[in-house]
Structure 1
Amino acid sequence: MSATSQRILAASRALFAERGYRASSMQAIADQVGITKAALYYHFASKDEILRHLTLPLLDELESALAEAEAGGDPETVRWRAIEGYVDVYLRHRETLVMLIRDMTLLVQAPVADRFRAAIALANDLVCGPERSLEGRVRASQVVAGLGDPVVLFLDVPPEQLKRLILDGAQALLARSDPAQEGAANDPAPTSRPAGVTDSPRPRGRPRGRSGGRPTALTESEARQARELYAAGRPVAEIAERLGVSRATVYRCLKT
């Protein structure tokens, strides 16, 4: 991507965050960059295309972070890798997140909305872990929902300081719902918890692929089976286990 295209994206992100996506015209973007409107259209055919380029990195990294977290092994390691990865992505794309929150209608537009819903559903699943009680699922959704708001609300707080506070809050919330974690709320670093975890590893399904890990895509017949099972009310974790793939792979299949 050219330097001018990068400048256009940076100016657009700032304008969308300040004024809102719909209130920012292509002319305003061109003026902000210091180019003509015709030159702007040379680089981007529409404002929707600019929006897509702004949101794709956040979504790509969020999906990647959650997929990496899921490969973590035991449930506690998976949980904290998912939480920390989620926060890291949001902090790296702080301005884009502000832009999306500033104009909430963007969050209901496909494909942005579909990918966000799938990522949030997977994050909830990973944070909850194998214990699938209603209380556990509700608490997991509270934790995930609370990871993004501070990133937007406390823009003046340095990223590392804010990250530590967010992780401390998540740990405190989870400790209240998990007796095994009582007394762990004062741990200095939530990400250090997995080192002492003794939980049994989560089943990983049948090994496939060069590295022995789970495949990253489903065959056509497997995809059809996954959709049929989901339509029949089977949980994503069960579908993933039955097909021998990660939950991230199942969520990607269901959103297509």
Structure 2
Amino acid sequence: MDDKRSPDTRARILETALDLFSERGYQGSSMREIALRLEITKATVFYHFPSKPILLATLCEPLSEDLEEVVEEAAALDDLVAARRRLIEGTLDVYIRHRRVLRLLLQDLTVLAHEHAFRQLVSLVRRIHEVFAGPERDVSVRVRAVQIFAMLSDPVVFFEDLPVERLRAEILAGVWALLDDPATSGLVTREEAGLGERGGRAPRRAGRPSVMDEAKAARARRMYAEGTHSVGAIAERLGVSRATVYRHLQDGPRSP
């Protein structure tokens, strides 16, 4: 005989529901099937969760709560660059931690679009976009913000067998590649980025060497590691192009 009031029963229902929803989809699963799999009565399932949407919302609560915490922490930071980095890395960590629920929400997108749990997630992601963009209203910044966070979720869902550390590193590498300057999140206006009206790059300013000696390269790596200078600031200080700085940061120190 099952114990209706047991917290363990509630936890088992949630875990079994997530298993079943993952296997068959939210629409293809029923409360009766959850009860059968657990060998408890359907009344016990409904005692803890009066409806399937409520059960789904409960499954999604940890994901939503963790995202809210990331947004609040980022919004409290005075440094917009630090806030942006916190949002990127924090959101990715939340997605990885709750990857099964995230996969469920995305795989049943058309079905769940009107469910409260999904609408709450969408609302949180929009809030993330707003905090990330900050006071900047340039459309290129706002579009880039949406692109960045879209890049975080899909790999988490599709590469479920990849070790977490490798997956996290690869996703972040893709995000930084999208950005013009990883150290400052690279979000600048079209004019500041040197983009023409049609989206083409403006000609590079003359007088910026494309190479630097190992002493300068070591100095660039040290400045970047200290986190006190953006790639753009390092390039200005050393009198080289940003592409040159990037290349030396990626190559690392040369072997003697």
Which TM-score tier does this pair reach, normalised by the shorter chain?
Answer: 0.5 to 0.7
CA distance in 1, matches of 2:106, 2:24: 12
Asked whether 1:46 is paired with 2:51, we answer yes
Offset at 1:60?
A: 1.5
Distance 1:25 1:107 in 2: 15
Higher relative contact order (CA 8 A, sep 6+): 1
Aligned counterparts of 1:34 and 1:195: Cα–Cα separation in 2 = 56
Cα pair distance change 1:170/1:194, threshold 3 Å = farther
Are the equivalent residues in 2 in contact too, given 1:77–1:194 (CA < 8 A)? Answer: no
* TM-score relative to the length of structure 2: 0.66
Query: For 1:111, which of 103, 109, 116 is the aligned residue?
Result: 116
Residues 102, 112 of structure 1: alpha-carbon distance in 2 compared, 3 angstrom cutoff? same
Match of 2:132 in 1: 127
Q: Is there any run of 5+ residues in structure 1 with no aligned partner, and where?
A: 182-186, 199-256
Partner of 1:171: 176
In the TM superposition, residue 161 of structure 1 has moved relative to its aligned partner by 1.7
Which residue type is aligned with residue 61 of structure 1? Answer: D
Report the Cα distance in structure 1 between the residues aligned to 2:59 and 2:226, rounded to whole angstroms: 34
User: How far apart are residue 123 of structure 1 and its match?
Assistant: 1.6
Corresponding residue for residue 244 of structure 2: none
* Residue equivalent to 2:22: 17
| Contact 2:57–2:116 under 8 Å retained in 1 | no
Instruction: Give 1:26's match in structure 2, choosing from 31, 38, 43.
Output: 31
Counterpart of 1:98 in structure 2 is 103
* Cα distance in 2 between the residues matched to 1:175 and 1:84: 17
Contact kept in structure 2, 1:143 and 1:170, CA below 8 Å: yes
SS of the aligned residue for 1:196 comes to: coil
Q: How does 1:1-256 map to 2 (within 5 A)?
A: 2-175=7-180, 178=187, 195-196=227-228
TM-score by length of 1: 0.66
Secondary structure at the counterpart of residue 160 of structure 2: coil
Q: Secondary structure of the residue that 1:156 maps to in structure 2?
A: coil
After superposition, the C-alpha distances for 1:128-187 in whole angstroms (9 at most, x for unaligned) are: 344432111111111011111111010001222211111111111112765899xxxxx9
Counterparts of 1:120 and 1:129 in 2: how far apart (Å)? 14
TM superposition shift of 1:39:
2.5
Instruction: Report the AA paired with residue 228 of structure 2.
Output: G
Instruction: Report the secondary structure of 1:90's partner residue.
Output: helix
**Partners of 1:193 and 1:5 in 2: CA distance:** 48
- Mean Cα deviation higher: 132-141 or 147-156: 132-141
Identity of aligned residues (%): 40
Aligned to 1:245: none
| Higher-Rg member (1/2) | 2
